[in-house]
Amino acid sequence: MTEQTAHKKAEGLTREAVADYLRNNPDFFIDQDELLRSLTLPHDSGRAISLVERQVHLFREQRDTLRRELVELVSIARHNDRLFEKSKRLLMQVIEARNLNDMAAAIDDSIRGDFGLDAASVILFTDSELPAAAQGALHVVSPDAAKARLGGLLEGDRAVCGQFRESERSFLFPDREEPIASVALVPLRNNELVGVFAVGSCEPGYFDQSMGSLFLTYISDTLSRLLPPILQRHAATVPVTDVVAESR
């Protein structure tokens, strides 16, 4: 084959055809050491490098990317492990609580102490004669009052995160000297809506819609199942006057 004929054949090839051929024949460069050494590619530094050097450079970049991703995954796993242990401790205390006040106090201590957040609130929706204010994070309101103040926040089953309106924040976290700026809220449902579980931060951007809520939902799912029987037991065995005295 003359040089002119080879040149004409080369002109008939497209870049896509060459790429497809090499892709379908990954062993093409085996025993082609001289060809490999003669191939050069531009580099970021401006000098030409061999194909082998380019491959080594790409492998190193890929290695560094995978290493960064691995470090990030390990960091996330450790963070989730810490969250799980904190959630486990909280739920064990909630399960062992003797009454509503013990449960509310455990939630308040854990959220503010263990989790390092600024506020926690468990608001129960009931028309029963329970204390209007109790220890820790517990608050009791009528279902109508809750619907009027929280509205659409009660419609879903998943956590809602954001800054919320001032009226909503003050309803969820009453009697605070330092106002809450951002909130994560989960409705408590056990066949029907029994209340809400909310945590708050004084930092405006702490909670947003993009953040994960797995552990918050995990805690609220447990509370949804524990609260109804405790409410029934509380209302059936404890006189209202005793409950009010206990909460003071």
| Residue 36 scores a pLDDT above 70 | no
Q: In which residue are the tokens 């209340």 written?
A: 195
* Interval 41-58: pLDDT, tens: 665 655 555 666 767 777
| pLDDT range class, residue 237, cuts 50, 70, 90 | low
For the chain, what percent of residues have pLDDT higher than 70?
A: 75
Domain with CATH 3.30.450.40 in the chain: 97-247
Give me the mean pLDDT over the 140-151 stretch. 83
**Which among 62, 192, 168 is positioned nearest to 184, based on CA atoms?**
168
pLDDT on residue 212: 60
| Residue 68 scores a pLDDT above 90 | yes
For the chain, what percent of residues have pLDDT higher than 90?
A: 4
Give me the mean pLDDT over the 125-149 stretch. 72
Q: How high is the mean pLDDT of the chain?
A: 76
pLDDT on residue 69: 92
| Residue 215 scores a pLDDT above 90 | no
* Interval 179-195: pLDDT, tens: 888 888 888 887 788 88
SS3 track for 3-51:
HHHHHHHHHHCCHHHHHHHHHHCCCCCCCCHHHHHHCEEECCCCCEEEH
CATH architecture label of 97-247? 2-Layer Sandwich (3.30)
What pTM does this model have? 0.62
> Dihedral sign, CA of 86, 165, 137, 217?
negative
| Residue 241 scores a pLDDT above 70 | no
Cα separations in angstroms, 193 against 1, 104, 123, 159, 197 = 84, 18, 11, 14, 11
> Mapping DSSP to helix (H, G, I), strand (E, B) and coil, where does residue 125 land?
strand
Residue 99, phi then psi, degrees to nearest 5: -155, 180
